[in-house]
Amino acid sequence: MKPRVTRAIYPGSFDPPTNGHLDVIERAAGAFGEVIVAVVVNPQKRNPMFTLDERENMLRACVAHLPHVRVAHFRGLLADYVRAQDADVIVKGLRVVSDFETEMSTALMNRSLSNVDTLFLMSDARYSFVSSSLVKEVFFLGGDVAPFVPGPVLSVMSTKRTALKQA
């Protein structure tokens, strides 16, 4: 039987994308025929640091070297988006054991809603402590986030820092 090209969806807030996210995307790109990096439009997170456009543009710059990866966004249920895209799997990164607790029930719910499995990639050890929320905290307290985010993200953050200083 000819194996089908697998379409994977990697969903997230990506506020901002980190080196850990990019590592998962690159490894997923090696494992699946096509990867859709899907930025959630999440009304529950009321004060994102970056607009949807900024997040999508940063991600596009980060994945420009990966031909079978595209960046998109979705509203509402991930399970509905997965079905609409005719995706085969959801991909998530797992950093620490505490991630597993929420991810397990989320994966089961998504499977129940869409009949699509979630496949987990263990975070590279270099990035297991790196999260978007910690990156933002370090940034707003004046720390150097260069080791934790891809170059295109760093330049957007540097521009924001300059704008904040001038405000």
Please tell me whether residue 16 binds ligand PNS under the rule CB under 6 A.
no
123 as an active site residue: the answer is no
Candidate list 13, 19, 114, 123; residue touching ligand PNS; CB under 6 A: 13
Q: Among 55, 92, 95, 123, which one carries the catalytic annotation?
A: 95
Please tell me whether residue 9 binds ligand PNS under the rule CB under 6 A.
no
Return the half-sphere exposure (C-beta side, CA atoms, 13 A cut-off) of residue 165: 9
Nearest to 157 by CA among 166, 147, 145: 145
* Nearer of residues 47 and 166 to ligand PNS, judged by Cβ: 47
Please tell me whether residue 85 binds ligand PNS under the rule CB under 6 A.
no
Please tell me whether residue 84 binds ligand PNS under the rule CB under 6 A.
no
* Nearer of residues 5 and 122 to ligand PNS, judged by Cβ: 122
73 as an active site residue: the answer is no
Helix count and strand count (H, E) for the chain:
6, 5
Q: Among 45, 75, 126, 133, which one carries the catalytic annotation?
A: 45
Residues 101-160 that bind ligand PNS (CB under 6 A): 106, 109-110
Shortest Cβ distance from residue 123 to ligand PNS (Å)? 13
Task: Write phi, then psi, for 19 (nearest 5 degrees).
Answer: -60, -30
Measured between alpha carbons, how far is 110 from 63 in angstroms, rounded to an integer? 26
Please tell me whether residue 40 binds ligand PNS under the rule CB under 6 A.
yes
Measured between alpha carbons, how far is 69 from 45 in angstroms, rounded to an integer? 26
Full DSSP string of 42-69 = -TTS---SS-HHHHHHHHHHHTTT-TTE
List the catalytic residues.
21, 45, 95, 132
